[in-house]
Amino acid sequence: MNAPTLCIVLVGTVAVSMLGCTHGTTPVAKPGAASAGRASEIARPELDSLRSRYRNVYDLIRAVRPGMLISRELRAATPSRDAPRSEPSGVKVFVDDVYVGGVDVLSTIPIRSIVFVHRMTATDATTRYGSGMTGGVIAITTAATRWR
C-alpha cells in the first residue's frame, strides 16, 4: 500500500474503533426518562425532606405527585357538568400489603411512619393483589414491615 491509502485505512480503523468503544460505555438517557420513574414513587430520602411540611400522606401526595391520586381512566375521560366534584378516583390504597380503602383513607395516615409510597398501574396491581384493581393502587410501606 502506498502512504495515502495506508493513512486513510488507519484513520478509518481508528474512527470505527472509537465508535465501538463509546457505544458500550454510559447510556444516554432519554429526555424525561429520569422523571418518569420517579413520577410513580416517593422514596425515603424525599419523604425525610418533606415530613415536616405535611401532616398526612394525602396532603403530601397531592402537593408532590398529584397524578398518583387519579386513575388513568379518569385522566383520559372528559369531565361532564353533571358529574359530582368528589367523584371517586378508583385508586385503592394498600398499607403493608393490606387493603385499607380508597384515596380518602390517605388523609388518616401520618407521614412519620412511611418509608416508601409507590403508585402501581392497574396491570401491576392486578398481578400483585388480584382482580378489581382497575384504577390502580397506591402501595405504602411503613417502618413496621422492616421488622417482619
Answer yes or no: are the C-beta atoms of 107 and 56 closer than 8 Å: yes
**Rounded Cα–Cα distance for residues 100 and 80 (Å):** 29
DSSP assignment of 107-123 equals: GGSBGGGEEEEEEEPHH
pLDDT for the residue numbered 146: 56
Tens digit of each residue's pLDDT (9 = 90 or more) over 99-115: 999 999 999 999 988 99
Tens digit of each residue's pLDDT (9 = 90 or more) over 74-132: 544 444 444 433 345 689 999 999 999 999 999 999 998 899 999 999 999 999 999 98
In 3D, which of 76, 80, 79, 60 has the Cα closest to residue 68?
60
DSSP assignment of 44-75 equals: HHHHHHHTTT-SBHHHHHHHH-GGGGS-HHHH
**Rounded Cα–Cα distance for residues 5 and 10 (Å):** 9
- Give me the residue spans of the domains in the chain: 39-79+88-148
pLDDT for the residue numbered 113: 84
Tens digit of each residue's pLDDT (9 = 90 or more) over 6-38: 445 444 444 444 444 444 433 333 333 333 347
Instruction: For 39-79+88-148, give the CATH class.
Output: mainly beta
